């Protein structure tokens, strides 16, 4: 440090010569001085190299015929064979269609509900009722996916389930919900809202709490009704958070909920419940077609990335907050 100060003072502009060597030495010195920080970071770095970048390196098997002896690097190249096989397979249209259906339906229904709930909860005057509502609505987020799907199976059971008992009480015929293709999507989305809406609401409530109360007071003085204040103060106030969460949701569009779809699958609803990722699981891990299913997985990631880029651009055009 002390060496650089006189150098800067003495030769303000015309000293390019000793600078590179000096700054390299300086940088090495700064790095070696911070060695303990690198030690702290090392486990996390090792983790992402082994469990994130190594698999990423392995994605090349999508263009190869993977065999365990040759490993990722030495397996023979086959080009786009696996992609072409997937696109020509009879499942292609169905599997991609099912994935997009669930993703878009989930987004359209499950994304706005937490915002609406947060706006309503935020308007409650009783602090105790507010707290109570919050706690109750977000408690299902702590129930595991396995148990939530287990609840579906018992509550929707055609023989003894709560819902079918109610239907029969009303004079209707029992419905085999978990075994019918047309019920898979509604059940999937409704259970998603049931489990996660309350938890997602918390972020919006935090954003609402950050809005300057003076804005509300001023609007009240001007005679704005609650609905008007929600529309003109609350909504614009949380819009940046909404936009960012929306883009993040798009980014994860084709990834989330895969475990639940897998758990909800029965042989009878496969025609709507088989999505890209469950197909990868079945073809790859259960039938050991590693290269073929890695290609499908890569197809899924690329589709996802494309969606993310498109929506981020739209958000930028609309002059909203963006991810980058």
Partner 1 sequence: MSLTTNPRTLNHPNRASSPGRPKQTLRDRYGDRAFNIAATTVLLLSILAVVYPLYFIVIASISDPNAVYEGKVWLFPSGVTTEGYERIFADSRIWNGLGNTVIYTVLGTAISVSTILCGAYALSRKDMPGRKILMLLFVITMFFDGGLITKYLVVRDLGMLDTVWAVVLPGAVGVWNLIIARSFFEHTIPNELREAAQMDGATDFKFFFQMVLPLSKPLIMLMIMVHVVAQWNSFFDALIFLNDDSKYPLQLVLRNILIQSDVSSTGTTGGDIESYAAAQRIAELTKYAMIVVSSLPLMIALPFMQKHFTKGAMIGAVK
Considering the complex, state which of residue 19 and residue 225 has its C-beta at the smaller distance from partner 1: 225
Count of Cβ atoms closer than 10 Å to residue 76 Cβ: 9
Considering the complex, state which of residue 5 and residue 169 has its C-beta at the smaller distance from partner 1: 169
Q: Interface with partner 1 by CB under 8 A: which range of 1-9, 17-25, 43-51, 88-96?
A: 43-51
Number of residues that bind partner 1 (CB under 8 A): 99
Cβ burial 104-117 (10 Å sphere, 16+ → b, else e)? eebbeebbebbbeb
Residues in contact with 272: Cβ distance below 8 Å, sequence separation at least 6, in sequence order: 98, 101, 181, 182, 184, 185
In whole angstroms, what is the distance from residue 243 CA to residue 250 CA?
A: 11
Least distance from partner 1 to the Cβ atom of residue 83, Å: 14
Using CB under 8 A as the binding rule, the residues of this chain from 84 to 103 that contact partner 1 are none
Least distance from partner 1 to the Cβ atom of residue 12, Å: 26
Map residues 169-208 to x or -, x wherever contact with partner 1 holds by CB under 8 A: x------------------------x---x---xx-xxx-
Using CB under 8 A as the binding rule, the residues of this chain from 9 to 38 that contact partner 1 are 27, 30-31, 34, 36-38
Considering the complex, state which of residue 17 and residue 77 has its C-beta at the smaller distance from partner 1: 77
Residue from the set 86, 281, 307, 311 that interacts with partner 1 by CB under 8 A: 281
Using CB under 8 A as the binding rule, the residues of this chain from 113 to 172 that contact partner 1 are 117, 120-121, 123-126, 129, 133, 135-140, 142-147, 149-151, 153-155, 157, 159-160, 162, 165-166, 168-169
Q: Taking the alpha carbons of 131, 133, 134, 139 in that order, is the dihedral positive or negative? A: positive
Q: What does residue 64 show for φ and ψ, rounded to 5 degrees?
A: -130, 175
244 burial type by CB count under 10 A (0-12 exposed, 13-18 middle, 19+ buried): middle
Tokens of 190: 């409704």
Using CB under 8 A as the binding rule, the residues of this chain from 62 to 81 that contact partner 1 are 66, 71-72
Considering the complex, state which of residue 17 and residue 69 has its C-beta at the smaller distance from partner 1: 69
Asked if 193 and 260 touch (Cβ cutoff 8 Å), the reply is no
Taking alpha carbons only, the member of 195, 192, 198, 187 closest to residue 132 is 198
Residue from the set 61, 233, 253, 315 that interacts with partner 1 by CB under 8 A: 61
Considering the complex, state which of residue 11 and residue 210 has its C-beta at the smaller distance from partner 1: 210
Tokens of 66: 């993977």
Least distance from partner 1 to the Cβ atom of residue 38, Å: 7
Asked if 19 and 11 touch (Cβ cutoff 8 Å), the reply is no
At 115 the three-state DSSP class reads helix
Considering the complex, state which of residue 13 and residue 32 has its C-beta at the smaller distance from partner 1: 32
Using CB under 8 A as the binding rule, the residues of this chain from 215 to 274 that contact partner 1 are 220-223, 225-227, 241, 251, 255, 259, 262-263
């Amino acid at each position: 440090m002390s060496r650089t100060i006189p150098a800067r003072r003495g030769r303000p502009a015309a000293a390019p010569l000793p600078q590179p060597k000096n700054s390299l030495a300086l940088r090495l010195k700064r790095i070696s001085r911070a060695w303990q920080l690198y030690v702290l970071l090392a486990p996390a770095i090792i983790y992402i190299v082994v469990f994130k970048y190594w698999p990423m390196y392995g994605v090349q098997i999508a263009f190869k015929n993977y065999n365990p002896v040759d490993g990722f690097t030495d397996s023979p190249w086959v080009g786009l064979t696996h992609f072409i096989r997937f696109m020509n397979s009879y499942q292609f249209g169905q599997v991609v269609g099912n994935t997009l259906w669930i993703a878009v339906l989930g987004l359209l229904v499950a994304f706005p509900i937490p915002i609406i709930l947060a706006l309503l909860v935020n308007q409650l005057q009783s602090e105790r009722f507010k707290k109570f509502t919050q706690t109750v609505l977000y408690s299902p987020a702590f129930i595991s996916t396995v148990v939530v799907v287990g609840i579906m199976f018992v509550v929707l059971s055609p023989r003894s389930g709560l819902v079918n008992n109610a239907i029969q009480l009303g004079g209707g015929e029992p419905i085999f919900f978990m075994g019918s293709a047309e019920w898979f999507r509604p059940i999937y989305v409704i259970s998603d809202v049931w489990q996660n809406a309350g938890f997602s609401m918390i972020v919006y409530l935090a954003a609402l709490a950050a809005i300057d109360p003076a804005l509300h007071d001023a609007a009240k003085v001007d005679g704005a009704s609650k609905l008007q204040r929600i529309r003109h103060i609350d909504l614009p106030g949380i819009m940046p958070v909404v936009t960012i969460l929306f883009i993040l949701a798009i980014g994860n569009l084709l990834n989330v909920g895969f475990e639940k779809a897998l758990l909800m699958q029965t042989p009878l609803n496969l025609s709507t419940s088989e999505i890209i990722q469950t197909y990868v699981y079945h073809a790859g891990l259960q039938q050991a077609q590693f290269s073929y299913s890695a290609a499908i997985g890569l197809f899924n990631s690329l589709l996802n990335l494309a969606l993310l880029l498109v929506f981020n651009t739209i958000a930028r055009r609309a002059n909203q907050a963006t991810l980058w």
